[in-house]
Structure 1
Amino acid sequence: MAAPAAPTGSGRRRAVPTPAELASWRSFLRAHSGITKALEVELEVEQRLSLAAYDVLVQLSEAPGHRLRMTELADAVLLSRSGVTRLVDRLERAALVTRSKVADDGRGVSAELTVAGYERLRVAAVTHMRGIREHFADRLDDADLTALERISRKLVP
């Protein structure tokens, strides 16, 4: 069965993207990949922390009680359940998070940010926020940022 055709600006549907659409898509992917790699390298070099680990610490810091079920955490950081389990294992060994059973669910497990984890996040955030400014925000003017946010909201499922 063929893939559904994408809507066009005029309301017509085509089976494949136009060359301009493909160019835009590829540009988007290159920009995302380049910025993500730069942020990852900076966190690794300066903080000895992966971007995924930083994301886990951020998600936990923003959650009520600094705690999330492992399944919610996996969804929030866009990792598989097994991937988030391995990452939380490493963060737990580093005393940045703890794991505990969910009180009202015998099978549920949650991850919680520790005081050391919060402090590690606070220090690493300096590097990460500087990277966001240098690799992203400083390259765009206010109109670009507004347009990108509007466009990005349309792309979120």
Structure 2
Amino acid sequence: VFDELYRSGKVELELVPQGNLVERIRAGGSGIGAFFTPTGYGTPIADGKETRVIDGRGYVLEYPIKADFALIKAYKGDRWGNLVFRKTARNFGPVMATAAKVTVAQVEEVVPLGSLDPETIVTPGAFVNRVVAVGLGAQ
């Protein structure tokens, strides 16, 4: 189905290197209007995008990505939405939380307020709208 929709021009596909993807999301959450990156310069990824040479090095202009909703997974959270992550969930979860209008965090455990070590909190509750406990081993 996707192939047919893509070939007919009804849907668009954009290939984005993983580093550029996370940086675009981070820019969206930080209020950055656009940024230049050397990744993709001189490749098909740069086709149709503004490019510049700065200090002898080529760059591609990338725009931020924002979301209406972010559904993220964290290890623990409190009812205020302060989140602690484990392993690879820390890669995109925190930046997605900042770039979304509404963030829903799925956690293994909701802990009492004040029980999270402030040094381990990666995403503060200001970026989280809902916390949903799924329990250990839930799928």
**TM-score where L is the length of structure 2:** 0.33
Higher strand fraction: Structure 1 or Structure 2?
2
Higher helix fraction: Structure 1 or Structure 2?
1
The structure that has the greater radius of gyration is: 1
Q: Could you say which structure has the greater relative contact order, defined with CA pairs below 8 angstroms and 6 or more residues apart?
A: 2
**TM-score where L is the length of structure 1:** 0.31
